[in-house]
Amino acid sequence: MKTEDAGLTTPSTLKFKAWRLGNGIMAVFFLVCVALQHNDPDPVLWMTVYALACLVCFTIVLSPHFHGYIIWKTLCGLELSYCLAMCCYTIMYVSEETQRAPHGHNPLLYTEGRELLGLAIVMLWIIACISYTPQRLQTTSSRQCEAALIILIGAASTIPLSLWGVCKVGSAAEYITYCKHICSGSG
């Protein structure tokens, strides 16, 4: 069943193409996150978070018309609700861990603290997916606004994957405390 905004024609603007490309990049990022969660103590919880986000992004890459389906909107709502519940659980856990302070009071030194960043990325991207409708893609705007929007989409979609690559693959891992902690496997 579709809602009223699903019958739109596919926009062919540069910002629409950038939006689809950004969602493609984020789908790959979330898929990598799913694969990395297999050795987590509670993999099903975290794999679900990233798999659902990947699915949402992938549907936008396939067709903007998925945005108009009730099932797509329900999937986004369930994903956001699940992420909020995971945030509450993780915040309570991290606050208990930082009170004991074996690694210090920096929450990023704990696996769960880094998982909060993952949840924030997922929730922000899903909110953007819900907000950035095909109707908004079809509206005209000034060249400067369109260029700024394309740069923002590009940055928002490539920064998480790039930072992960720097910490896991690059030589910067030796110099960045956060990366050293990730690569050592402690947390």
pLDDT, residue 96, reads: 81
pLDDT, residue 88, reads: 92
pLDDT, residue 117, reads: 84
Q: Which of the residues in the chain have pLDDT under 70?
A: 1-12, 101-109, 134-150, 157, 160-187
* pTM greater than 0.95: no
Distances (CA, A) of 96 to 101, 171, 180: 9, 33, 23
Residue 155 one-letter amino acid: A
Per-residue pLDDT tens over the stretch 55-77: 999 999 998 777 778 999 999 99
